Structure 1
Amino acid sequence: MKQTSTLLARSLVRASISLGLGLAVSTAVAQTAPPTQPPAGTMQTAPAGAWTLQRAVDYALEHNLTVRQNQLTAETNSAILRQSKAAQLPTANLNGSQTWNYGRSVNPLTYEFQNQTTRSNNFSGIAQVVLFQGFQLRNTIKRNTLDYQASLGDIEKARNDLSLNVASQFLQLVLSEELVRTNQLKVNSDVQQVERTRKLLKAGSVAESNLLDLQAQQATDELNVITAQNQRDIARLQLTQLMNLDAAGQAAFQVEVPNLPDPDEQAPLSEDPNATYQTALTLLPEIKAADLRVSSAKSTVDIARGGYMPRLSFGASIFSGYSSSPITTFGSDSTARRTTFFVENPATPGSITPLNVVTYQRTQTVTSRGYWDQLNQNLGRQLQFNLNIPILNGLQVRTNVQRSLINVQQAQLNAEQTRLNLRQSIQQAYADAVAAQRKFGAARRQVEAQTTSYRNAEIRFNNGLLNGTEFNITKNNLTAAESTMIQAKYEFIFRRKVLDFYQGKPLTL
């Protein structure tokens, strides 16, 4: 009795857990990032009213932090692209300095040694432009453009992943709500059955064990209600976390349960997985982003190969300076002074001849030129071409080229892996959808058969022809069949929505 009475609880728990795992986006979109979990403390307050799937998806796309982080990454790549374009412009800078020299030093303007305290200023303006750099600037712009476009694809991929995650959790919550209602109906039926059996017991029509079995079954079904409510609360919490709602919004959150058709009411799946795959290749942003990163890696190879080529640049500069060191100048001639020297006449030995020498005393002046005068007098200009021809630099360029080629191969493998994951995801979603549709049909037939069996068992039990244990087994079999049917229904709905998503259709219920 104890083992059979817990069958319903176990089956319902397994149904909820298996559907939660089955609806995980990691299965629908293979090897994608885990569901977005915004940190606490930055959640948003939800507007009032019941939530539809489209409203929940739109709100999550607007407030989810992971999507916003991808947007900031794209803005960063945009700034890097602008910087690479600006690198083609000339550079121009102004420099100025003021220096104090103490003791023996070199005059920065006359380059003479001096032993005094001086103050000097130096000013310069320098402009430079790159004329040729192995096309590295052009290829850098090309690469950064591709990286920026790939980051835009990452934003769209993050939005798509979030939409699928929200759809998964939304259906999980709807499933949990239906399980709560189904189990509550079972409890209500148990209450009526226990009350009717209690009356039959008083009339002596049934044994007391029948009443005890029904009371045990009622307790089991009440436990199943609590379990289903817990699953519902967890599903609601996970959905509101994806939407980045605060505590008040989570507490008031309610979904609008859509009217979903049963899988057997729809036509069998006729989509060709290969055709869906070809359509998805042209639509999904992760495919485009992977191809863009392959092209970006090839541009990096071109940048690295530019290191083999010469570099030519042109520069111009203008400079001047001032020094407080005094400058010695000499004026014009002043008074003349005659001096007579007596020397021996070489023509007449022993005789002395007077020699008159005239000397002049010149005026010496120590001055310091004015500030602006020195700047004008010390003004200098320079034009310069710089040519750098690489010959041997420790094989750095060759190593960079080899590493870039390896990165190209890695990017190509990543692109192939992305395509393989997409193909496998579509094939798996199609197989799961077909299996769920077939499973639902079989489960519905099983429910119909179990319902008939349960009604027959109920009549026999009320007439005392069936004991409580056998009656509970029949009831648990019906409950398990209903749980299987509900599980198959929502699994088919989600897998079908995944296939629609790969075909570019909106996620609506």
Structure 2
Amino acid sequence: MKKIAIPFFFLILSISLSAQTKQWTLQECVNHALENNISVKQSELDYEATELAKKDAIGNFLPTLNGSASNSWNTGLTQNVTTGVLQSQTTRNSSYNLTAGITIFNGLKNIRESQQADIAKLAAQYNLDKMKDDISLLVANSYLQILLNKANLEVAKSQNIVTLEQLKRTNDLVDAGVLPRGDLLEIKATDASEKQKITVTENAVKISLISLAQLLLIKDYEHFDIVDKGYEIIQNDITKKPVEEIIEAAQNNRAEVKIAEENAAIAMKDLQLARSNYYPSLSGFVNYNTRESDAPRILQGGIDPDQPSQPIGIVEATGDVVVAPNYALLSTSALPYTEQLYLNDGISYGLQLNVPIFNGLSVRNNVKRSKINLKRTEYQLEQAKLDLESNVYQAYVDAQGAEKAYESAVVALESQELAYQYAKDRYDVGLTNAFDFSQSKLRFDNAKIEENRTKFEYIFKLKVLELYFGVPASELKF
């Protein structure tokens, strides 16, 4: 039993450790989101629906074939379906019908619907591409927020280590009577403030991790973590390019304008479809039908011996009665099922022409509605181009501003680090008090946090600008 339990224990332990140490890279997060995100799945379903619409449009060119069958029982005075004679009877009758039809001309509706289905499919693909780009950027932004929070937590912890060292040294100097007790209290207050900041930053890290996990539809929050090393600013010249070049690239590559263009094209096809109703339509059909019944047949037998003849008229000139032989009617069983189907079948075929003459102005009004909708989509296309141009300008200015802010933050950090080191050296030799030292340290901490913030903001702004320039979200480098 022990031999089995020990390997089993280590197996469970290894599984638990592997679950705890799983760290996701940014690319893994993006790929996972694109495969599992609900919004992406909905866009994929929309695309699949357009494929079915295209198949429907193709099917409109094909002939139709439909069959029907019925079987009924009648009791009382009913007509014999095979002889046409009214009889008081209980009968079973069945009929079968097969009809084929084809549209010959319907105002080019079939062609317009097929063209519209192609456009709708392309628009759905652009919507899917845009959704993937949006989700990729959202994941990247959430990921960078975690990196920022972790970097700030690392700063807070490392600076608190320095504070704890100063606290120990100050406590020794106070005990030796070299420094006043007020310096020790100041350092303790700094330590308490830093520990509070560490707690707040740790919570920020957890919350940002949970937010990303929820975005990825991962429920195991406790064991979810990311790779937090190796994400630096990759220098490129995109901010040095003329903004007009980026705008032109965005108009050629971004899905926003393409979606608006396809929507306008769909509206044009709607207008053409509405106008198709002005034209007559022509269709052809072929119908085959047959029937059978279990009712007895009424046949003509020999001359009735009781009444061998019967009057059928009178000669007007002479008044003589005209008679004819009176044959007796015989009742016999119904013909076999297959024989009845063969004898009672028939075929009909022809053409059907429908000419619209007056239909309550519905066609005319639908054409007007389609014209209004077309105009609306043209305005939306124009607005999409203006919005894209505005967004590119905004992203361009944001990226340049983020670059300058980061460069300034780096310079400020270097200066604050030198000032902090100078204050630390003066405090170590007793030339400055604990309050001044704490203030210098606080400014250095804030400068480091600001450097982290501007760094990751700059990274994100660069990626947004690269997306507008035409770099696919899956190929963005961090």
- Alignment TM class, shorter chain as reference: 0.7 to 0.9
CA distance in 1, matches of 2:470, 2:455: 23
- How many Å separate the matches in 1 of 2:61 and 2:326? 64
Letter in 1 for 2:280: P
> Structure 2 matches for 1:362-381, cutoff 5 A?
362-370=327-335, 371-381=337-347
Q: Distance in 2 between matches of 1:155 and 1:308?
A: 36
Paired residues for 1:185-224 under 5 Å = 185-224=158-197
Tell me the distance in 1 between the aligned counterparts of 2:325 and 2:153: 124
Aligned equivalent of 2:63: 90
| Cα distance per residue 1:443-486 (max 9 Å; x no partner) | 23322332333333334444544443333222222222222222
What SS is found at the alignment partner of 2:392?
helix
1:299 aligned to 2:265? no
SS at match of 2:360: coil
Distance 2:42 2:439 in 1: 54
Task: Assess if the C-alpha contact under 8 Å between 1:54 and 1:508 holds in 2.
Answer: no
Paired position in structure 1 for 2:450:
484
Aligned to 1:425: 391
Q: 1:262 to 1:449 in 2, by over 3 A?
A: farther
Q: 1:443 to 1:178 in 2, by over 3 A?
A: same
TM-score of the superposition, structure 2-length normalised? 0.86
Paired residues of 1:336 and 1:359 also in contact (CA < 8 A): no
Distance between the aligned counterparts of 1:149 and 1:268, measured in 2?
30
| Structure 1 length-normalised TM | 0.81
CA contact (8 A) 1:335 1:360 kept: no
Q: Deviations over 1:398-419 (max 9, x none)?
A: 2221222222223223333332
Q: Report the AA paired with residue 397 of structure 1.
A: V
Aligned to 2:115: 142
What CA deviation, in whole Å up to 9, does each residue of 1:219-248 have, x standing for no partner?
Answer: 111111112111212222222233333416
Could you say what the CA RMSD is over the residues aligned between the two structures, in angstroms?
2.8
Provide structure 2 residue ranges, at least 5 long, that are not aligned to the other structure.
1-17, 310-321
d(CA) in 2 for partners of 1:48, 1:227: 24
**Deviation of 1:177 (Å):** 1.4
Counterpart position of 1:58: 31
SS of corresponding position for 1:365: strand
1:290 to 237, 242, 260: 260
1:311 maps onto 2:281 in alignment: yes
Q: What are the within-5 Å matches in structure 2 for residues 248-327 of structure 1?
A: 251-261=223-233, 269-327=239-297
- Report the secondary structure of 2:277's partner residue: helix
1:474 to 432, 440, 445: 440
- Partners of 2:97 and 2:405 lie apart in 1 by 83
Q: Distance in 2 between matches of 1:315 and 1:300?
A: 28
8 Å Cα contact 2:83/2:298 also seen in 1: no
Which residue of structure 1 lines up, in the alignment, with residue 461 of structure 2?
A: 495
d(CA) in 2 for partners of 1:96, 1:501: 61
In the comparison of the two structures, how many residue pairs are matched? 446
- Measure, in 2, the Cα distance between the counterparts of 1:335 and 1:262: 118
Report what 1:7 is aligned to.
none
How far residue 327 of structure 1 moved from its aligned partner, in angstroms, is 3.2
CA distance in structure 1 between the partners assigned to 2:468 and 2:54 by the alignment? 32
Q: Return the match for 2:414 from 428, 444, 448.
A: 448
Task: Determine which of 130, 135, 152 is the counterpart of 1:157.
Answer: 130
**Offset at residue 334 of structure 1 (A):** 6.8
Partners in 1 of 2:175 and 2:151 — Cα distance?
Answer: 36
Percent of matched pairs sharing the same residue? 29
Return closer, same or farther for 1:276/1:361 CA change in 2, 3 Å cut-off: closer
Q: Which has the higher contact order (CA 8 A, sep 6+)?
A: 1
CA contact (8 A) 2:71 2:93 kept: yes
Deviation track 1:391-450 (CA, whole Å, cap 9, x = no partner) reads: 111211122212222222232233333323322222112111211221222223322332
Letter in 2 for 1:305: R
**1:242 has 2:222 as partner:** no
* Aligned mate of 2:73, from 94, 100, 123: 100
Give the deviation of 1:308 after TM superposition. 1.0
Give the residue type in structure 1 aligned to 2:334. R
Q: Residue by residue, what CA displacement relative to the aligned partner does 1:181-204 show, whole Å, maximum 9, x if unpaired?
A: 111111101101111111111122
